[in-house]
Structure 1
Amino acid sequence: MSDLILHHYPTSPFSEKLRLILGHKKLPWKSVFIPAIMPKPDVLPLTGGYRRTPVLQVGADIYCDTALIADVLEHLAPEPTLYPEPEKGMSRILAQWADSTLFWAAMAWNLQPKGAAEVFVKAPPEAIKAFGEDRGKMSVGNMTRLRPADAAAAYKSYLRRISDMLDDKPFLLGEMPCIADFSAYHPLWYTRRIEAVKGILELTPAVGDWMDRIAAIGHGKSTQFSADEAIAVGKASMPGSLLTDSTFQDDHGIPLGTQVTIRAESFGLEETVGKLVAASRMHYTLERTDDRAGTLHVHFPRIGYVLKKADNA
C-alpha cells in the first residue's frame, strides 16, 4: 500500500479529528502542510476544485471529507474499530451531528469578537481581512451562521448533553472511543485553544476529563513531506480505491462514464469535474487528469454532496 499522506494545517479542527484517528489506529502518515485559505496551488491539482481541509492522499487516490476518510482508515486498520457493534448506526449519526450542528455552534462561539481577536492577535490586518473574505465565499449558499448569543445557548446545551452521555462510561458510547468521540472532540479542541472563550468548558467537568482522554491518544507517527513530493507520488501511481462498497447505485439517472460535477451541499461550494467511475451506496468517485499530478481518482462521500451532469456532458 502507498503511504498515507495527509494534507492539513495545524489549527484545522477537522484535521485534528483525523490526526487523532491516525494515532488511535497506530497508522504512520506523512504530513503536508497546506494554506488555511485560498489560493491552494498544490491542493487543487489533486482535488480538481475541492478546497476544504483536510484531504487524504493514497497514491493516485484522493479522499475528500473526514467522514469518508474515516471509512478508509477503518478499512486499513479495522481494530480498534471506529464503528462498534451494536452502536454502529448510532456512532455514525452522532458523528454527523457533531461534524455539523455541534461544529457550527462551537465555531460561532469560538470566533466571537473576543475569540477572534485572540486567534488573530499576531496577524496583520490584511491577513484578517483575507481570512474573513475566504470563509465568506465558502459560506455562500443555503448555510445559516449562528450569532454569538444564539451559539452560546446552543453550545452550553450541547456540552451538557455530551456530559450526560459520560455519566457511566469513559467515552460517548462505551469503554473505547469511536467515530462519535473524534467528531465531537475537534470543535471543543478549538475552544480549548482560545483563552478568551474556553471558560465555557468549565461548566461541564466531565467533558473536560473526556477531552483529556481523547487528547492523550496523540497523533501517532508522522513525517514531514512536501507538496511537490505528494504531487509526484500521485503522478507516479495508478488509482486503486481502498473503498470496499462498489455496487453501482443510480439515484440520478447518470450512467458511469458520464462527465459530472460534485460539490458540497452547503460549505465550500467549489466543484470538481471529472468522469464518474463509481457511485455506490456510500461514495462517489471521479476520474480526472491534471498536468502536474497525472490521472487521479477523487472520492467523495455520498451524504452531504451534490452530483450533477457537467454542462458539456
Structure 2
Amino acid sequence: MPDLILHHYPMSPFAEKARLMLGFKGLAWKSVFIPSVMPKPDVVALTGGYRRTPLLQIGADIYCDTALIATVLEHLKPEPVLFPQHLKGVTRIVAQWADSSLFWAAMGHTLGPKGAAAMFGTQPPEVGQAFAADRSAMRTGMTSLRAGDAASAYRSYLRRLAHMLHEQPFLFGDAPCIVDFAAYHPLWFTRVVNPAMAGILDATPGVLAWMDRMASLGHGQPAKFTSTEAIAVAAAAVPAPLADEAFQDDHGIALGSRVTVAAESFGTETTEGTLIAATRTHYTLERTDDRAGHLHVHFPRIGYVLKEVRA
C-alpha cells in the first residue's frame, strides 16, 4: 500500500467524507492540515490552481474531488466495498445528489445569517469576514439558496433519508456504501461544526442514529505530516504509470494538448497542464512545479470543464 497523504482541515465537510472513507477502509494515512481560506501556496504548488478541499496525494500523483478519491481508495483496497456491484449505477447517482443538492441545502441552513453568527460570533470579527469573503469568491456566478428556502429543502431531504433508513441500518442496506459517506458529511457539518443549527435534525431520530453508526467507523490511522514534507515527497517521486484505458475524446482536444481543467461551479480556479489521459471517468494533466517537481493531477470528468489553451 503506497503512502496516502490527505490535505485537509478539520471543519471541512468534504474532508470529513474522505476521512471517514479512510476509516471505513481501515487505512493508515498522513494528515496535512491546510488553510481553510486562500492563499494556499502549498496546495497550489501541488495542483497548479485547484484549491478545493480535500486533496489526496500519492507520491507525485494528486487526486482532486472526493468522487475521484473514493474511486482511488476502492482500487487500492477493494474490501469493504464503497460501490456494491449490483448497485453501482444507482449509488453513484444518489451520491452525486448528496454531494450537490443535499450539500447546498445543508450549507444554506447551517451557514445562513443565524448560523454564521453562531459559528463565528465568539471569534475575532476578521475571522468570519475572511471566511465569508473567501466563500463568496468561490461562489461567483452561482445562485445561492436563501436560508429559509435551504431549510425547507433540508427538512424534506432529511425525511427522505429517514424513509430510506426505516428498515435498514444504512441507506442501501446492511453495510455503508458511497451514498452513506456522501449524505453524511453535510449533516455532520450541521451537527458537529455548527451545533447551534442542529435542531433541524431532531425531527428525524432515525437519521441521528444512522449518523452515530457512521461516526463509529472512525478515521483510520492518521499520522501528522506537514505540507513541506508532502511537497518534498512529491518532488522526490515519479508519477505512477497511467493505466491502459481508452482515450475518450468528447471535445476534439488531442492528447498532448495544453489544456485547463476547472470545476463547473464553486471554486472555479483553473489548473493548466498537458492533457495525458482522458478516460471514460477522469482527466489527467501533467505539469511541473518549481518546488513539487513533475506531477500528474487527476480530476473526475463529471463536474469539471476541460478547455484547450490556444496561443
TM-score, normalised with respect to structure 1: 0.97
Partner Cα distance (1:123, 1:270) in 2: 29
Letter in 1 for 2:78: P
Q: Which residue of 2 aligns with 1:110?
A: 110
Give the match's secondary structure for 2:108. helix
Give the match's secondary structure for 1:212. helix
Q: Which residue of 2 aligns with 1:78?
A: 78
Q: Which residue of 2 aligns with 1:257?
A: 256
Q: Which residue of 1 aligns with 2:31?
A: 31
Q: Which residue of 2 aligns with 1:190?
A: 189
Q: Which residue of 2 aligns with 1:292?
A: 291
Partner Cα distance (1:196, 1:50) in 2: 32
Letter in 2 for 1:279: A
CA displacement 1:180-209 (0-9 Å, x = unmatched): 000000000011022321011010010000
Q: Is the 8 A contact 1:245 1:281 kept in 2?
A: no
CA displacement 1:14-57 (0-9 Å, x = unmatched): 00000000000011000000000000011000000000000000
- Return 5+ residue gaps in structure 1 as ranges: none
CA displacement 1:96-147 (0-9 Å, x = unmatched): 0000000000000001222112211332212211111111111112x21100
CA-CA distance at 1:244 after TM superposition: 5.1
Partner Cα distance (2:248, 2:161) in 1: 36
Show the 5 A alignment for 1:1-313. Answer: 1-141=1-141, 143-193=142-192, 194-240=194-240, 246-312=245-311
Give the match's secondary structure for 1:43. helix
Q: Is the 8 A contact 1:263 1:272 kept in 2?
A: yes
Q: Is the 8 A contact 1:105 1:146 kept in 2?
A: yes
Q: Is the 8 A contact 1:114 1:196 kept in 2?
A: no
* CA separation of 1:277 and 1:63: change in aligned 2, threshold 3 A: same
Deviating more after overlay: 173-182 vs 119-128: 119-128
* CA separation of 1:159 and 1:239: change in aligned 2, threshold 3 A: same
Deviating more after overlay: 125-134 vs 74-83: 125-134
Partner Cα distance (1:271, 1:113) in 2: 30
Partner Cα distance (1:140, 1:195) in 2: 28
CA-CA distance at 1:246 after TM superposition: 2.0
Give the match's secondary structure for 2:212. helix
CA displacement 1:240-260 (0-9 Å, x = unmatched): 16x757210000010100000
Partner Cα distance (1:277, 1:2) in 2: 22
Partner Cα distance (1:146, 1:21) in 2: 29
Number of residue pairs matched by the alignment? 310
RMSD: 1.1
TM-score, normalised with respect to structure 2: 0.98
